[in-house]
A and B are shown apart, each in its own frame.
Chain A
Amino acid sequence: MTPTFDPAAGVVSVVGLTKRFGAVTAVDDLSFSVAPGRVTGFLGPNGAGKTTTLRMILGLATPDAGTVTIGGIRYADRPRPAHHVGAALETASFHPGRSARDHLRVYAPEVGVSDSRCDEVLALVGLTEAAHRRVGGFSLGMRQRLALATTLLGDPQVLLLDEPANGLDPEGIVWLRQFLRYLADQGRTVLVSSHVLSEVQQTVDDVVIIAKGRLVRASSLADLEAHARPAVRLVSPDVDGLARLIAASGWSEVTRFEAPGVAVIEDHHPAQIGAAAFAQGLEVHELSSAGTSLESLFLELTSSAEVAR
């Protein structure tokens, strides 16, 4: 049974959001929207304002300006909100003396679900074995799983997860990736925040990148990737031989010379260039990747110069 969702009810819309803490403007006139049926990465370095934005989306903090709606309704105005929106903030919080199952059972009446649903979500996140153990003894990864289970209690259409990969082992990250994909494929809205792009790069369809509280870029990951191009830096003492290699390989269009004997060839990978140089018998002193990776593009985008623009 695949659940069916009204896409309009799954749109998260942030408009002109601003939040100040004294002299610090944590979120600065931020606007973006999150589409259903896709996994959206909410990205930015530490202190960029991701958690603060999520807290305002969830009605935990009051914005100084701007509005946030989920499916056209403010979180706090929605009856039984956990039925529609599942959210977990950065620091997953549990009473250490409660068992995992009891933690879920506590919220079950308000979410409007039975105790058997608690067992179901524990199974979904792979915590069935630990159901009756006190959360105080849980590892960070287990806490992340329990936090995720809590967000899933009400089978919500919208999932907002703050740094859910923190503390997960590599196996857990792969599992999370597949799980989020599965949820988005059902038509749910999935927003995951992270301070490292590479952590979610293989999961997300869209990115919303912020820095210093401001929007830097909101686009599909594919659009962002179009800006990230591979390039190779090739250095040879044989200046003429290098020029001949580039002309003969048809790379003239994509090559610039930083100096005689120092070429940067774009849109190619080191292996291609290395193979060609070897075939020509060219003496090579340096062969290195000089492209913008997605991660370095991310760093570039979120550096202060880019934000000031």
Chain B
Amino acid sequence: MTAALRTEIRKITTTRAWWVNGAVMFAYMLVLAMIMAASFVLSIRSEGSASTGLPGGATLDPESVASSVYTLAVALGYIFPAVLGALVVTSEFRHRTITPTLLAEPRRSLVLTSKLLAVIPFAILVSIAGVLGTVVGGAGTLALMGEPTFLGDPDMVRTIGMSVVALVLWALVGVGFGAVLTNQVAAIVVLLVFTQFVEPLLRILLAQFDATETLSKFLPGAAGEAVAGSSLYVSSGLADLLTAWQGVLVLLGYALVLLVIGRLTTFRRDIG
């Protein structure tokens, strides 16, 4: 187990993908948080409250503005850790290194488990980078504009910390997803389309009916926000969330179910 884990960790450290992922996420989150913080503040000043631009005409108070900005990574940036996780599996197929990998360790379940565990430390670093981007960009902008940052508030600190946890869980979901869809380009495209279009649409649609509203809480994005305990969607009154622990379990569930499906399909077939 430790040998397989060390091998998988070295696979990540010897390529650039993980830190490029972290650097891009940091930059993207920084800019996004600056724009969001500034536009919320400006709309509070002009209209007395911040318009979210989301359906229902929801508005935000200054504290919700801060927490919405600090959890932007969980609401909009989880594609980064998800891709990080998926790449751990798909790059082996893209570059056909899965052959030497299975020659060195033919126990395929062990290979997949090691990949899941190996990605965790890198997912933590990437997630911290992303959340740091939102905090630096968001708090910096709020402070510059003379608004409270709420960074001293223990609840806010907890929300920020749990954002990192949610993003790390997203990396695990990514590993499971990569095991199911091993074609790298297809995996990235599907992840992008699902997280950026399908899930947001589903959440708005499902929330319209009482019968399906509960269902929407179990979507992975909603579960991630539940872990962080706050988000733009919630602040805008669009949706309820699960509790943080339920969110953790739902995301872990997605990761493990996907991983098992991958093991029983792609990883049972002839490879290499």
Contacts and interface: CB of A to CB of B under 8 A. Distances in A.
A95 B15 contact: yes
A14 to B, nearest CB: 17
Interface in A84-128: 87, 89, 91, 93-99, 102-103, 105-112
Given A93-B97, A93-B99, A110-B104, A60 B10 contact: no
Contacts of B103: 58, 60, 81-82, 87
Contact of B10 (A58, A105, A150): A105
Interface string B87-115: 00001000111111111111100000000
Contacts of B97: 93-95
Which of B2, B4, B6, B100 lies at the interface centre, i.e. has the most chain A CB atoms within 10 A of its CB?
Answer: B100
Contact of B3 (A95, A96, A109): A109
B106 A59 contact: yes
B17 to A, nearest CB: 8
A40 to B, nearest CB: 20
Contacts of A106: 7, 10-11, 14
B105 A110 contact: yes
B7 A107 contact: yes
Which of A89, A102, A110, A111 lies at the interface centre, i.e. has the most chain B CB atoms within 10 A of its CB?
Answer: A110
Contact of A60 (B4, B6, B104, B270): B270
Contacts of B100: 93, 107, 150
A136 B52 CA distance: 47
A97 B14 CA distance: 8
Contacts of A61: 270-272
A96 B94 CA distance: 11
B6 A109 contact: yes
A62 B108 CA distance: 14
A158 to B, nearest CB: 12
B92 to A, nearest CB: 9
A75 interface: yes
A112 B2 CA distance: 11
A239 interface: no
Nearest to A54: B272
B45 interface: no
Given A93-B99, A107-B100, A102 B272 contact: no
Given A91-B96, A95-B97, A109-B6, A60 B272 contact: yes
Nearest to B114: A110
A82 B104 CA distance: 5
A94 B94 CA distance: 10
A254 interface: no
B96 A97 contact: no
Contacts of B101: 107
Given A81-B103, A91-B96, A107-B100, A102 B7 contact: no
B4 A76 contact: no
**Could you say which interface size class chain B belongs to?**
20 to 34
Interface string A239-272: 0000000000000000000000000000000000
A60 B99 contact: yes
Contact of A97 (B16, B105, B106, B271): B16
B219 to A, nearest CB: 34
A204 B184 CA distance: 41
Interface string A176-198: 00000000000000000000000
B6 A97 contact: no
A55 interface: yes
A95 B91 contact: yes
Which of A59, A60, A109 lies at the interface centre, i.e. has the most chain B CB atoms within 10 A of its CB?
Answer: A109
A95 B97 CA distance: 7
A60 B103 CA distance: 8
B91 A110 contact: no
A60 B271 contact: yes
A94 B92 CA distance: 9
A280 to B, nearest CB: 63
Interface in B1-60: 2-4, 6-7, 10-11, 14-17
A111 B270 contact: no
Contacts of B272: 55, 58, 60-61, 89
A58 B100 CA distance: 11
A97 B15 contact: yes
Contacts of B105: 110
Given A91-B96, A95-B15, A107 B270 contact: no
A55 B7 contact: no
A98 B10 CA distance: 11
Given A60-B271, A109-B10, A94 B106 contact: no
Contacts of B106: 59, 75-76, 81
A93 B95 contact: yes
5 contacts: A58-B272, A60-B102, A76-B106, A89-B99, A106-B7
Ordered nearest first, which 9 A-B pairs have the shortest CB separation?
A93-B96, A109-B6, A61-B270, A60-B272, A76-B106, A102-B14, A110-B104, A109-B3, A110-B7
Given A102-B14, A107-B100, 19 more contacts: A58-B103, A59-B102, A60-B271, A81-B103, A82-B103, A91-B96, A93-B99, A94-B97, A95-B11, A95-B14, A97-B14, A98-B15, A105-B14, A106-B10, A107-B104, A109-B6, A110-B3, A110-B6, A111-B104
Interface of B: 2-4, 6-7, 10-11, 14-17, 91, 95-107, 270-272
